[in-house]
Amino acid sequence: MDNVVEEMGMNMGQTTGMDTKRWVVDPNQPPAVLRQAVQEAAQLLQQGEVVAFPTETVYGLGANCFSSEAVRKIFAAKGRPSDNPLIVHIADEAWLEDLVSDVPEAARRLMAAFWPGPLTLILPSNGRVAPEVTGGLSTVAVRMPDHPVAQALIAACGFPLAAPSANRSGRPSPTQAEHVLDDLAGRIAGVVDGGPVSIGTESTVVDVCGSNPAILRPGGITREELEAVLQQPVETVKADAALAIEPTAVAGRDTTAAGDGPADSEASYVPRSPGMKYTHYAPRGEMWLVCGTPEAMRQRIVQEATARLREGKRVGILTTEEGIGAYRQQLAGQPVILLACGRRREPASVARELYGCLRQFDAAGAGVIYAEAIPEEGIGAAVMNRLVKASGGRLLQA
Ligand code: TXA
Ligand code: MG
């Protein structure tokens, strides 16, 4: 069975023709090599350029958060709608003073437990970051990444880095430098290549401004972990609900989409987490999320795949190491793009490999993709959140 897919250049749209530097920083290299790469990258950031760098979650595309001109280059390189705000990355908790007007008690406890790490906190802004960072909101998203290269780079800059994931808008987040270059070569000043990331799914975004902390985006820190520290239930705001809340008037704010995302016509309503109103990543093929017991899912997927193959479609199947044998057997000889994404019994491994697999389906030209659901426990909740979004709500109950 042919389950090997070709890697293709995925560079979309026109580049600016910029020479994109790549610094490879292997942990086995002498520290001087890392120092020099970090210094060169920091110098470009100090000159107002944008540079991609590894974090423990996904690669970020950084710029000086206090410079409108620099931050605008992020939106231009990504083709990102200008009203979708960015996370500000700090190297030291003391830097919060430059960013926020208050640190609520819940935030203090979460910072003590999870920073540095994959947790982003929504805090009241003191208005000093460039307005492009917050997209007109009165809050600012802050995180301290737990990655030696990210920490060294931010410290060398001497200012916090506003950084979204380093992908073109609408593409899966990058989990290795190659993904960054596929999307952004020729559009950014450089990428610090620290190898594959360890978590592979974005940080958990928690709003600590209200009376009850709420998860705006599930991610690397699980709801269970947050509840254990806060000693209270923590709700996860559903994407639909997030669209309807916070009727904050932001008079005169330019809400025109800057890139390939949809324009926002509701100028007077700010979603609680603006990222939620955009379909983030949608595969080029039609993706279906299949739920049920492992046996039922596999039976249904084999059925569906067989029917689609007969229609002449190029079919992709997203399973795990536990499931791949069953498909190999039942679809033997069929030209299916079959990918094992980690191990079902170890959801962290699924999180780590998910975005790479989604990129492979696009590269292989899958016309229709069937993805197995995984249990929504721990980081499985973040994986399912991304799969539901990628499938645009196309669910099959097996
Ligand atoms: O793991 C991560 O969080 C990665 C790495 C690079 O740190 N970054 C990342 O950034 O995923 P981005 O831009 O792809 O996602 C930021 C999310 C969006 O959903 C955005 O709407 C939300 O954070 N966000 C940013 N500022 C916000 C604010 N003030 N209020 C509510 N949501 C906010
Ligand atoms: Mg992103």
Residue 273: the pLDDT is 56
**To test ligand 1's pocket by mutation, which of 53, 86, 215 has the most ligand atoms within 8 angstroms of CB?**
86
Record the tokens describing residue 146, joined without a space. Answer: 């737990």
Given a contact cutoff of 8 angstroms between Cβ atoms, the answer to whether 226 and 284 are in contact is no
Q: Is the CB of 273 under 6 A from ligand 1?
A: yes
Q: Which of 111, 103, 349 is nearest to 226 (CA)?
A: 111
Full pLDDT tens readout for the chain, 398 residues? 333 332 233 344 456 689 999 999 987 788 888 899 999 999 999 999 999 999 999 999 999 999 999 999 999 999 988 888 999 999 999 999 999 999 999 999 999 999 999 999 999 999 999 999 999 999 999 999 999 999 999 999 999 999 999 999 989 999 999 999 999 999 999 999 999 999 999 999 999 999 999 999 999 999 999 999 999 999 999 754 433 333 232 223 223 223 333 322 222 234 455 555 555 688 889 999 999 999 999 999 999 999 999 999 999 999 999 999 999 999 999 999 999 999 999 999 999 999 999 999 999 999 999 999 999 989 999 999 999 999 998 999 99
User: Tokens 């100090």 correspond to what residue?
Assistant: 46
Q: Name the helix (H) or strand (E) containing 330.
A: helix 324-330
User: Tokens 């899912």 correspond to what residue?
Assistant: 297
For the entire predicted model, the pTM comes to 0.89
**CA nearest ligand 1 atom 3, residue:** 203
Say how far apart CA 193 and CA 151 lie, in whole Å: 14
Q: Is the CB of 141 under 6 A from ligand 1?
A: yes
Q: Is the CB of 168 under 6 A from ligand 1?
A: no
**CA nearest ligand 1 atom 33, residue:** 273
Residue 30: the pLDDT is 83
Ligand 1 geometric centre to CA of 87 (Å):
5
DSSP tally for the chain: helices H, then strands E? 12, 16
Q: Which of 49, 23, 20, 66 is nearest to 152 (CA)?
A: 23
Alpha helices, DSSP H only, in 53-184? 68-78, 105-114, 131-134, 148-157, 177-184
**To test ligand 1's pocket by mutation, which of 50, 165, 168, 253 has the most ligand atoms within 8 angstroms of CB?**
165
User: Tokens 């939620």 correspond to what residue?
Assistant: 276
Evaluated on CA atoms 160, 279, 260, 182, the torsion sign reads positive
Say how far apart CA 258 and CA 70 lie, in whole Å: 15
Record the tokens describing residue 235, joined without a space. Answer: 């709700």
Tell me the ligand closest to 270's alpha carbon: 1
Ligand 2 geometric centre to CA of 189 (Å):
19
Say how far apart CA 315 and CA 286 lie, in whole Å: 10
Say how far apart CA 381 and CA 378 lie, in whole Å: 6
For residue 34, report the phi and psi dihedrals to the nearest 5 degrees. Answer: -60, -45
Say how far apart CA 244 and CA 44 lie, in whole Å: 40
Say how far apart CA 199 and CA 53 lie, in whole Å: 15
Tell me the ligand closest to 116's alpha carbon: 1
Q: Is the CB of 287 under 6 A from ligand 1?
A: no
Q: Which of 281, 329, 117, 107 is nearest to 210 (CA)?
A: 107
**To test ligand 1's pocket by mutation, which of 50, 82, 87, 138 has the most ligand atoms within 8 angstroms of CB?**
87
Ligand 2 geometric centre to CA of 174 (Å):
9
Mind giving me the DSSP string for 276-316?
GGS-----SSEEEEEES-HHHHHHHHHHHHHHHHHTT--EE
Q: In whole angstroms, what separates CA 40 from the centre of its chain?
A: 26
Q: Is the CB of 100 under 6 A from ligand 1?
A: no
Amino acid letter, residue 360: Q
Q: Is the CB of 122 under 6 A from ligand 1?
A: yes
User: Tokens 């995302």 correspond to what residue?
Assistant: 261
Helices 347-364 & 177-184 angle (0-180, nearest 10):
30
Report the chain's C-alpha Rg in angstroms: 21
Say how far apart CA 81 and CA 79 lie, in whole Å: 7
